[in-house]
Amino acid sequence: MPAPGRTAADLAERLLAGDKRALARAISLVENDSPEGWALVREVYPKTGRAAVVGFTGPPGVGKSTLIGRLIEDGRAREREIAVLSIDPSSPFTQGALLGDRIRLADHFLDPGVYIRSMASRGSLGGLSEATLQAALLMDASGKDDVFLETVGVGQAEVDIIDHADTVVLVLMPGSGDSIQALKAGVMEIPDVIVVNKSDHPLTDTMVREIRGVLSLGPQHGWRVPIVKTEASRGEGIEELVERIVEHRAFIEEHGTLDERRRRNLQSEVVALAAARLRRRLEAHVHDDESVQAFLDEVVARRLDPASAATKLLERAR
Amino acid sequence: MPAPGRTAADLAERLLAGDKRALARAISLVENDSPEGWALVREVYPKTGRAAVVGFTGPPGVGKSTLIGRLIEDGRAREREIAVLSIDPSSPFTQGALLGDRIRLADHFLDPGVYIRSMASRGSLGGLSEATLQAALLMDASGKDDVFLETVGVGQAEVDIIDHADTVVLVLMPGSGDSIQALKAGVMEIPDVIVVNKSDHPLTDTMVREIRGVLSLGPQHGWRVPIVKTEASRGEGIEELVERIVEHRAFIEEHGTLDERRRRNLQSEVVALAAARLRRRLEAHVHDDESVQAFLDEVVARRLDPASAATKLLERAR
């Protein structure tokens, strides 16, 4: 018999009431791919969809976490409840940080209106993007006004995650030449808002001009992507950034884009969840079945081609 | 009845004899996910494993294609047969190029000892990495000494592809700050050889120093990653780059790393092929089955959670 106060229904109730410890426990369940975690998401799912989900992406070292720290301060001043989910392995939320960053972030950890959580890029049992998206749903259900997702924007898993934000903010800094080239070449998708952080750098205006040049190549109708200069470590430009994020949300609500985006994202999430489960079954099979190892050896010896081996694997795993 | 000279056995024979048109046709079959293409790879697979597969990755605009063009010239002078497979959407091999580049590359297109092929980043019917790897096997079977893979190194598909090279060359240029940060943060894997192209730039030595700093943080035993300065547009530094690539191959052959890498890569390829097939079946199901669309609508309406919808989808698609 479960201990009093520990039943699933009770956990759901406390989560919906905004209890921070219930939220932490719920996310751990999801992260460990526990059936209880999935059941919980199922129960609270009807209460989701209220939070504004903002994704922050960009190369490591541009100051995404410091920027998010400032946005938390700003949001708290306006009495908004905020959750942050970081899956950037280089983020101070996730692991090592400069001492100064740690101290600044520590304030937020103690604030009952703020919940910060990191997830390892690898090793989430149920697959990174699945766990992240479930965690974001739990944050939403717990009554947070804003859910901030922080990703490094390199791998496909990170891109899948950021795709689920209502508003995507790309953070760059002077020297982010590779990202500019990737935007220009169409290899990286155009975000909703672009931030040039560390704007006390002498090359900031050059960078802003380069970004304008890239944006001018794209479609000129609909939402015009704003470029905001910030100096997050000193809190400069934060108000303007907040305004732009709020404007973007108003724009997508007014034009029906929010519903459209969420529909597309939820549908692709369902397919991704199902595909990830199939893949995990397959991997378990490779791991457990010795005969599979035998025909994989044949592939290495060039006696059996990879595609035929894949067919054999699918037959065995059926 | 197939036309004379068009049967599968004949195509395999011509491919193995190094016929360029047979290779082109074979790759198209694989790209179109045709059963004939898979049968062909099956037939020629025992003849693969001879080519040195070198992957070139790096942000768009650093000059990977120009560099590869120079390496082709160098290899041809040493009578090596070369194939290039480009899946960088920003590459001049793939699409638009400066007029000068086009003219330089055109020479190689006419050379019977060189085969250049590009693949679209999206839209390959059988999945990008699967098609690419099959194409690389076909190039190998057709007797090429070198197979060069060019990718932009952003998405997971591109990383999967580059993982299958025996030697990975990361190409940067002065201004590649984001890539340096990604290496430093451990978000991007350390390659086997690093090139700083466009080395007539005044900041080249600063960039080389930064890279040295990053490399010094890693393990100091085994292969020491060389940094080569090139100015590909003028052909400078190419000889040294060739030497380093050859040295790396000698090193991994001597230390057994080549066999180890290929074993790991072939095995993960089999799992990836199988998983991609399962995912395609799932997507076809979503597309064809109207009842699936009905419960996806329930997800959007927040009446059915994504994980339960995924379970239902797996039941239907069984």
Predicted confidence pLDDT, tens digits, chain B (318 residues): 445 445 778 999 999 999 999 999 999 999 888 999 999 999 999 999 999 999 999 998 899 999 999 999 999 999 999 999 988 777 767 654 444 455 556 667 778 899 998 887 654 445 677 888 899 999 999 999 999 999 886 555 666 778 789 999 999 999 999 999 988 888 888 899 999 999 999 999 999 999 999 999 887 788 999 999 999 999 999 999 999 999 999 999 999 999 988 988 888 889 888 988 888 888 888 888 888 888 889 999 999 999 999 999 998 877
- For B271, the closest of A271, A275, A286 (CB atoms) is A286
Regions of chain A with pLDDT less than 70: 1-6, 92, 94-107, 121-127, 153-159
B177: contact with A, CB 8 A cutoff? yes
CB contact under 8 Å between B310 and A270, yes or no, is yes
In degrees and rounded to multiples of 5, residue A249 shows phi and psi of -65, -45
Q: Hey, which residues 109-138 in chain B have their CB within 8 Å of chain A?
A: 133-134, 137
Q: Which residues of chain B make contact with A152, given a CB cutoff of 8 A?
A: 182, 185, 187
Cα separations in angstroms, B173 against A47, A219, B176, B187 = 49, 29, 6, 19
Q: What is the pLDDT of residue A1?
A: 45
Alpha carbons B170 and A182: distance in angstroms, whole number = 16
Substitution target from B201, B271, B303 for chain A, most A beta carbons within 10 A? B271
- For A270, the closest of B38, B62, B306 (CB atoms) is B306
Q: Does residue B53 sit in helix, strand or coil?
A: strand
Q: What is the DSSP string of A235-291?
A: TBTHHHHHHHHHHHHHHHHHTTHHHHHHHHHHHHHHHHHHHHHHHHHHHHHHHH-HH
A260: contact with B, CB 8 A cutoff? no
> What is the ipTM, given to two decimal places?
0.85
Prediction pTM value: 0.89
| Cα of B228 to nearest chain A Cα, Å | 19
Contact indicator for B135, B33 with CB cutoff of 8 Å: no
E strand residue ranges, chain B: 52-57, 82-86, 114-118, 146-150, 167-172, 193-196, 227-229
Core vs surface per residue B4-20: b (16+ CB within 10 A) or e: eeeeeeebbebbbebbb
Alpha carbons A169 and A244: distance in angstroms, whole number = 10
B36: contact with A, CB 8 A cutoff? no
Q: What is the DSSP string of B74-131?
A: HHHHTT--EEEEE--TT-TTTS---HHHHHHHHHHHH-TTEEEEE--SS--TT-HHHH
| Cα of B47 to nearest chain A Cα, Å | 8
A305: contact with B, CB 8 A cutoff? yes
Q: What is the pLDDT of residue B104?
A: 59
Query: Angle formed by the axes of helices A238-254 and A257-288, to 10°?
Result: 100
Contact indicator for B53, B25 with CB cutoff of 8 Å: no
CB contact under 8 Å between A282 and B296, yes or no, is no
Q: What is the pLDDT of residue B17?
A: 96
Q: Does residue A200 sit in helix, strand or coil?
A: coil
B287: contact with A, CB 8 A cutoff? no
B203: contact with A, CB 8 A cutoff? no
Name, in order, each residue with C-beta under 8 angstroms of B238's C-beta and a sequence gap of 6 or more. B67, B70, B71, B73, B74, B230, B232
A217: contact with B, CB 8 A cutoff? no
Contact indicator for A217, A251 with CB cutoff of 8 Å: no
Q: What is the pLDDT of residue A47?
A: 96
Residues β-bridged to residue A169: A56, A193
CB contact under 8 Å between A60 and B184, yes or no, is yes
State the architecture of A48-255 in CATH terms: 3-Layer(aba) Sandwich (3.40)
Token couple for A31:
């992260």
Contact indicator for A170, A193 with CB cutoff of 8 Å: yes
Alpha carbons B112 and A297: distance in angstroms, whole number = 35
Contact indicator for B144, B44 with CB cutoff of 8 Å: no
**Fold (CATH) for B49-255:** Rossmann fold (3.40.50)
Extents of the domains making up chain A = 48-255, 272-317
Q: Which residues of chain B make contact with A316, given a CB cutoff of 8 A?
A: none
